A and B are shown apart, each in its own frame.
Chain A
Amino acid sequence: MALLEVKNIYKSFGGVKAIQNFSIEVNAGEIHGIIGPNGAGKTTIFNTISGVYTADEGSVFLNGQDITKMEQYKITHLGMGRTFQNIRLFKGLTVEENVMCAFDPRSSYSILGGLLPTPGRKREEKRGRELCKKYLDIVGMAEYLTEKPENLSYGMQRRIEIARALMCEPKILLLDEPAAGLNPTEVAELTELIQRISKELGFGIMLIEHRLELVMSISHVIHVQNFGETIAVGTPEEVQHNPAVIEAYLGKEE
């Protein structure tokens, strides 16, 4: 069984059919790109998989467990990490604390440790900080531990968000337009980063992206969405030559 199995999910809001019959299977080490015009329902797919919304129909399995109707935070505990289209780092926390937040739910000291400096608290906090360092190192942000994210550049904030998602120790990582707002150098660095974490950490990645050169270069499989429907699935080459895709992107030839 694949790590993530999404079977025929549907989701609509009022009359708007945001997702119609979407299915996907993601295995460890794979990168799946999802492309499509604005309003194609890409982010809704992420939201439905990660538990922000519940699918109207269909089912979602993570590592063999049915997570279709599970609460969002529990899905995260089972191994889902994500970033957001419009960076959503926590205000009022430093870079380190932002990343720590993704460790805290599984940090194992009790409420007593929350009020007093118990040995258990010290041990767990140390473990958390070490993990923090590790993941911030991977994204190349380890020297900014005590900075406030809002004082850093957009590209850096994207990296911190990825580190925070890694801190969830996911089996499946959902990246929602990680290259939006980045300059070409940053995009190149990001491309390298995604490939590196995919190889080193060996989890499945789903990637929504508008920069076709990025998606096409690193994805193993591409899903093309249009008006909530999947219009093509295949390798980057297959998709690029698919007439339905060309039509959706360039319009119908007269």
Chain B
Amino acid sequence: MALLQNILTQAFITVIAVCGVYVLTGLTGMFSLGQAAFMAIGSYASGLLVIKAGIPVPVAILIAVVLAMVVGYLIGYPVVRLRRDYISLVTLGFGEAIAALLNRMTTLTGGASGLTGIPRCIGLEVATISAVAAIALVAFFKTSKYGRQCIALRGDELAAKAMGINVTKIKMIAFILSVALTSYSGCLYSFYMSYVDPSGFGWKKSADWVIMVFFGGVNSLTGSTLGAFILSALPQFLRDLQNYRYVIYAVLVILIINFKPSGLLGEWELTIGNIKKSIRRIGRKNKKEER
């Protein structure tokens, strides 16, 4: 039971981060391989604020998220102006630099051996509520004017500009929103694990999140969330298989990318309208059976 609870909590924390990646990659078409660094900023900043400055946890989380957003703005400023191919590589460099910094600032962060002594004060309930809230916010964002403009410029920047869309501004908004979500997930992570070290925040982590989005469906928030949930829980369930779990994981993803490129769910979203449609369909079937 405790194991299941642990798996679920971690999966929900990942879901929050992947919601951010969905905004950036799914909606806007930008690939960040430094996204995990924002999770690191959230984790370390909130943890340090509580340990070293004795600030209450909720306030620490708020400050950490705002700090990450400020850093996101500074990095985003050049990033949103770059050609798309460069974005992934520049953010990758940024992520590695942050990891190096955390390793280096031993007195503050504990260096490679990690930051210990963070109070463990977050459990499954908070993770679940947060995940639901994150999904709801992103769902609202997707159907808002911002989401539409993101999708428009994802496909055709030139036409988007010709329709009056301020491409750099919209990209920046998407970037900052994704940073906020990811860093928040980092805060939850540190208060759940009570320990963080730099090794988990490299570009591989960011790449994993991108894979999750594509696995579930890059054009569907429902799909991305599902992908995050499945792929983050899977290796935990496969724990007994030790080293084989990443191979199984990779093979699964390669199969999806090759044979169902739109991901598990394609463009399908879980909405009230779509549920009603399904219920009606089932209803019709039942009536037939009654006759």
Contact = CB atoms under 8 A, between A and B. Distances in A.
A106 B166 CA distance: 11
B159 A105 contact: no
Contacts of A106: 164
B161 A76 contact: yes
A93 interface: yes
A52 B158 contact: yes
A104 B165 contact: yes
A117 B151 contact: no
Contacts of A104: 145-146, 148-149, 165
A91 interface: yes
Interface stretch (A108-116, A134-142, A178-186, A238-246): A108-116
Contacts of A84: 159, 162
Given A101-B148, A115-B140, A168 B267 contact: no
Interface string B219-253: 10000000000000000000000000000000000
A12 interface: no
B222 to A, nearest CB: 15
Interface in B154-171: 154-156, 158-167
Interface string A40-80: 00000000001110000000000000000001110011000
Contacts of A98: 152
A193 B6 CA distance: 63
B154 A113 contact: no
Contacts of A97: 148, 151
Contacts of A77: 164
Interface in B117-159: 137, 140-141, 144-149, 151-152, 154-156, 158-159
B256 interface: no
Contact of A105 (B141, B144, B158, B164): B164
Interface string A19-31: 0000000000000
A101 B144 contact: no
A105 B155 CA distance: 17
B164 A76 contact: yes
A111 to B, nearest CB: 7
Contact of B219 (A82, A92, A113, A114): A92
Interface string A164-201: 10011000000000000000000000000000000000
A79 B164 CA distance: 10
B66 interface: no
Interface in A95-129: 97-98, 100-107, 109, 111, 113-117, 121, 124-125, 128
Interface string B171-188: 001000000000000000
A101 B144 CA distance: 10
Contacts of B146: 104, 111, 114
A78 B195 CA distance: 54
A121 B140 CA distance: 11
A98 to B, nearest CB: 8
B273 to A, nearest CB: 10
A27 B110 CA distance: 70
Contacts of B149: 101, 104-105
19 contacts: A52-B158, A72-B162, A73-B165, A76-B162, A90-B152, A91-B155, A91-B156, A92-B151, A92-B155, A92-B267, A101-B165, A102-B163, A104-B146, A105-B165, A109-B144, A111-B146, A113-B144, A115-B137, A116-B137
Q: Which 9 A-B pairs have the closest CB atoms?
A: A76-B164, A104-B145, A88-B159, A72-B161, A105-B164, A102-B163, A90-B152, A114-B146, A114-B144
Interface of B: 137, 140-141, 144-149, 151-152, 154-156, 158-167, 173, 219, 267
